Amino acid sequence: MRKTIALFACLITLAITATDAQAGGAMPPAPEDVVKIDVLPGWRDADGHHVAALRIRLAEGWKTYWRAPGEAGIPPTLNWQGSDNLAGVKFHWPVPVVFDTSGMQTIGYADELVLPMTLVPRVADQPITLSGQLNLGVCLNVCMPMDARISLVLPVDKAGAKAPIQRALRQRPDTAQEAGLRRAVCKVEPMADGLRVTVTLDMPAVGPNEVVVVEIADPSVWVSERSTSRKGGALTTVTELVPSAGKPFLLNRADLRMTVLAAGRGVDIRGCTGG
């Protein structure tokens, strides 16, 4: 029998950026009319890990954001402090959609996001008590940051519905090998307040209007809007990395992560070489 664990949204506030609705004095909608969040409890796999998923269902026209949300999105954050028998969590993000709204590019999901996660227990044959906080942003013509408390027990011997989680797992990006990546080269140049990185990916086209998203392991480093172009078999993007200190820094190219998005497909590329 399908079992879901309800969460609740709280501490709802308006985004700092004003919108037409806010400027006109319109009240934002109630959070429960915008988003419904639950947990699909999943199952224990052969390795003793627990496979579950967060499910975020949105009202018509609303969207939420990917881990790298683009120019104006609100990135989701999850804090699992307070959990018991939990050694680690790995998320499996489905391929997101690139939205172009009023000349700004954001990256995320409309309608529904099922976000699979692999939970590693400290003791394999014991339940996991999952406790923490999810922070996410949802937007239409207003944007609302939301906080949701998570509190549930994932037993060892009870399994929930597998189909929605398995379907989301199949929506993952291709690996570099699956996409036919031949070489990833990163040229790094110092700037007054950080680094400029030119990434060249030697690979077949993923689809029309390719977007390359560059991420770095340190979340405090601001990653600028990208300029992307393709010439034959080479896809090139230029981005700027600006740390909070506002000066050049040492960059390990292995820490860079590039995702190519186009036509509902994605390619996940980890690291690059010097060039």
pLDDT tens column, 108-148:
999 999 999 999 999 999 999 999 999 999 998 778 888 89
Residue 27 is predicted with a pLDDT of 62
Residue 207 CA, chain-centre distance (Å), reads 21
CA distance 50 to 38: 17
CA distance 230 to 237: 9
The type of residue at 218 is D
Residue 70 is predicted with a pLDDT of 87
Contact 107, 98 (CB under 8 A): yes
Flag residues of the chain having pLDDT under 50: 1-25
Residue 26 is predicted with a pLDDT of 57
The DSSP code sequence of 201-263 is EE----SSS-EEEEEES-TTSEEPPPEEEEETTEEEEEEEEE-TT-S-----GGGEEEEEEET
Copy the structure tokens of residue 269. Answer: 């590329």
Contact 96, 107 (CB under 8 A): yes
Residue 5 is predicted with a pLDDT of 32
Residue 160 is predicted with a pLDDT of 76
Residue 271 is predicted with a pLDDT of 97
Question: Taking the model in full, what pTM does it have?
Answer: 0.86
CA distance 82 to 97: 33
CA distance 273 to 275: 7
Residue 141 is predicted with a pLDDT of 79
Contact 165, 54 (CB under 8 A): no
Residues 89-105 as b/e (b if ≥16 CB within 10 A, e otherwise) read beebbbbbebbeeeeeb
CA distance 83 to 144: 27
Strand partners, 231: 234
Residue 134 is predicted with a pLDDT of 94
Residue 72 is predicted with a pLDDT of 78
Residue 142 is predicted with a pLDDT of 78
Q: Classify the C-alpha dihedral 244-245-247-250 as positive or negative.
A: negative
Strand partners, 143: 139
